[in-house]
């Protein structure tokens, strides 16, 4: 929100785009090799290094950006890839519901339970307070696969922000958590929405024959 920071995977993409734009100069590849103790100063090796950075190591991307003279702060100021608070308010005024999506888009199964709770609580509280929302919606970043039943149980504890519904990305499936719904990832391909929904429903029925259309949570 308000272009305050950039998603770590977008940072990796921009670094690779910059390397491609300058045609992977040997001098820069050598810098990566020395800094990260790579076996070879080769573009594929460097590319794999950049793409291999996960959420826990995301700070390394800021250091890598310096090696290719890339300024993420300047990029955010010029390109403004994210919605501003004003734009979000305008969407809400036209009837859109606004929800939270975590603080900085981690894969939840890479986090401890306490970290998961923090991501949920702080992001949803911020959205509700910033926009005066009388409801609470939360959509998991990446996926909710592997998120425990105890996490969902904790969402109704005292001190937690109000939650009306949360969303995963597993397509059409039953979920044992009554306020949690699996959505169809409509952005994953270029087929018409009507065809995608029909395909998901057919797939759901086929999974039902195999007993695989219901999510289980430990």
Give me the pLDDT at residue 181, please.
96
Domain identity same for 106 and 72: no
Instruction: Answer for the pair 172, 203: CB distance below 8 angstroms, yes or no.
Output: yes
Number of domains in the chain: 2
Domain identity same for 119 and 180: yes
Domain of residue 205, CATH code: 3.20.20.370
The structure tokens listed for 216 are: 């289980």
Query: Is 63 inside a domain boundary?
Result: yes
The confidence band for 186, taking pLDDT boundaries of 50, 70 and 90, is: confident
Q: What is the mean pLDDT of residues 95-110?
A: 96
> Rounded CA gap, 129 and 124, in Å?
9
State which of 55, 79, 103 marks the end of a domain.
79
**DSSP designation for 137:** E
What is the three-state SS of 53-90? Answer: CCHHHCHHHHHHHHHCCCCHHHHHHHHCCCCCHHHHHH
Domain identity same for 75 and 102: no
202: containing domain: 85-209
Q: What is the mean pLDDT of residues 113-139?
A: 97
**pTM: predicted TM-score of the whole model, two decimal places:** 0.89
Q: In what order do the strands lie in the sheet with 165-168?
A: 137-139, 165-168, 180-182
Domain identity same for 130 and 197: yes
User: How does pLDDT run across 38-79, given as a tens digit for each residue?
Assistant: 999 999 999 999 999 999 999 999 999 999 999 999 999 999
Give me the pLDDT at residue 211, please.
85
The confidence band for 188, taking pLDDT boundaries of 50, 70 and 90, is: confident
Query: Which of 53, 33, 51, 54 lies closest to 42 in space, CA to CA?
Result: 33
Q: What is the mean pLDDT of residues 167-176?
A: 92
């Amino acid at each position: 929100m308000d272009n305050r920071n950039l998603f770590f995977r977008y940072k990796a993409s921009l670094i690779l785009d910059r390397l491609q734009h300058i045609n992977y100069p040997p001098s820069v590849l050598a810098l990566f090799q020395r800094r990260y103790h790579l076996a070879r100063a080769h573009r594929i090796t460097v590319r794999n290094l950049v793409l291999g950075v996960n959420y826990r190591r995301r700070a390394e991307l800021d250091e890598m950006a310096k090696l290719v003279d890339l300024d993420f702060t300047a990029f955010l100021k010029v390109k403004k890839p994210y919605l501003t608070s004003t734009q979000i308010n305008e969407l809400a005024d036209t009837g859109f519901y606004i929800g939270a999506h975590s603080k900085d888009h981690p894969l939840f199964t890479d986090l401890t339970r306490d970290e998961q709770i923090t991501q949920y609580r702080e992001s949803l509280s911020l959205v509700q307070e910033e926009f005066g929302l009388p409801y609470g919606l939360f959509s998991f970043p990446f996926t909710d696969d592997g998120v425990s039943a105890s996490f969902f149980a904790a969402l109704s504890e005292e001190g937690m922000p109000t939650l009306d519904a949360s969303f995963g990305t597993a397509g059409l499936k039953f979920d044992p958590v009554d306020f949690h719904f699996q959505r169809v990832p409509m952005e994953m391909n270029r087929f018409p929405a009507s065809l995608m929904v029909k395909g998901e429903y057919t797939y759901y029925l086929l999974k039902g024959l195999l007993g695989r259309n219901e999510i289980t949570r430990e």
